[in-house]
Amino acid sequence: MNKERKLIIAGNWKMNKTVAEALDLVHGLKLELSGVKEVDMVVCPPFTALSEVSKAILDSNIRLGAQNMSEHNVGAYTGEIAAVMLKEFSVRYVILGHSERRQYQKESDALISKKAHAVHAASLKPIICVGETLAEREDNQTEKVLETQARGSLAGLSKEQMAETILAYEPVWAIGTGKTATTAQAQDAHAFLRGLLGKMFDETVARRVRIQYGGSVKASNARELMSQPDVDGALVGGASLEARSFGDIIKNSI
């Protein structure tokens, strides 16, 4: 597939996989994906598996991401993980503002923006999630919600930092539900976000930023979604937990 931006497909394993299970999965992925150069491929295991997965993918084309990070660098923050700790395991990407964290941990746009600054300060790349609920979509609030979340979560980033940030459009109603946005719904939201980036930063930045789609992506819908001009990859939950299904999503997207 000939795209303006290189696709980036990331697997968000959420709170799944012991270390042994994580190693099984990455060994399978290495076999499935050894020849792939066209797509940036990222796995985001739970923190407890980062160390072993990091070693297992050292000689591969798969990169490592984390599912969250503290906005602080060090100190009395029980249960938190700092950038410097992630860097020990050669983590390159950090998912921020996933809807599950917005919902269960009550993460706000202001907090996500602080985390985004901490991620960039450590020369890591944030994957920042935005997306509307079903009630918001049905109430025709999708663009308003996306604009509020994007303006809040990306606040204060420089143009250079924004160009190295990945956005993920994840309609909450499509996450883990088996309901996927139609290609038109995905393209419309991505085009809206890119237009907004043009206003918030500039056209050059807007053209560089990669915007992933997330929400029940699977091998059977990946190709059509990735063929949309403003869809530059995927953030995959459930289907990233098996080597075959994640591998097929990537192969079908090329």
- 3-state secondary structure (DSSP) of residue 128: strand
Binds ligand PEP by CB under 6 A, chosen from 43, 111, 236, 250: 236
Query: Closest separation between CB of residue 54 and ligand PEP, Å?
Result: 21
Q: Interface with ligand PEP includes 211 (CB under 6 A)?
A: no
Q: Which two tokens stand for residue 35?
A: 């020849």
33 binds ligand PEP (CB under 6 A): no
**CA nearest neighbour of 234 among 218, 212, 216:** 212
CA distance 86 to 98: 18
Q: Which is nearer to ligand PEP, 8 or 239 (CB)?
A: 239
- Residue selected from 65, 171, 233, 237 as contacting ligand PEP according to rule CB under 6 A: 237
Identify which of residues 97 and 162 has a Cβ nearer to ligand PEP in the complex.
Answer: 97
Kindly state the smallest distance separating residue 76's Cβ from ligand PEP, in Å: 30
Which of 8, 12, 25, 29 forms a contact with ligand PEP (CB under 6 A)? 12
Is 98 annotated as catalytic? Answer: yes
Listed residue (41, 50, 53) closest to 69, CA to CA:
50
Please give the structure tokens belonging to residue 215: 């929400």
Which of 65, 126, 131, 214 forms a contact with ligand PEP (CB under 6 A)? 214
Q: What is the DSSP string of 207-243?
A: HH-EEEEESS--HHHHHHHHTSTT--EEEESGGGSSH
**Whole-number Å distance between alpha carbons of 250 and 98:** 22
Number of residues that bind ligand PEP (CB under 6 A): 13
Does 235 interact with ligand PEP (rule: CB under 6 A)? yes
Contact 144, 131 (CB under 8 A): no
Residue with tokens 């063929």: 227
Q: Residue 247: CA atoms inside 13 Å, Cβ hemisphere, count?
A: 16
Sites for ligand PEP among residues 115-174 (CB under 6 A): 170
3-state secondary structure of 130: strand
| Residue 30: C-alpha distances to residues 43, 63, 220, 237 (Å) | 11, 11, 21, 18
Of 32, 71, 98, 120, the active-site residue reads: 98
| Residue 170 falls in the annotated catalytic set | yes
Judged by CB, which is closer to ligand PEP: 173, or 201?
173
From 132, 136, 170, 190, the catalytic residue:
170
Query: By CB under 6 A, which span of 77-85, 113-121, 198-206, 231-239 interacts with ligand PEP?
Result: 231-239
CA distance readout (Å), 77 to 37, 69, 169, 215: 39, 12, 30, 32
Q: Contact region for ligand PEP (CB under 6 A) — 31-39, 65-73, 131-139, 233-241?
A: 233-241
Among 53, 175, 205, 225, binds ligand PEP (CB under 6 A): 175
Catalytic residues: 98, 170
By CB under 6 A, name the binding residues for ligand PEP: 12, 170, 175-176, 214-217, 235-239
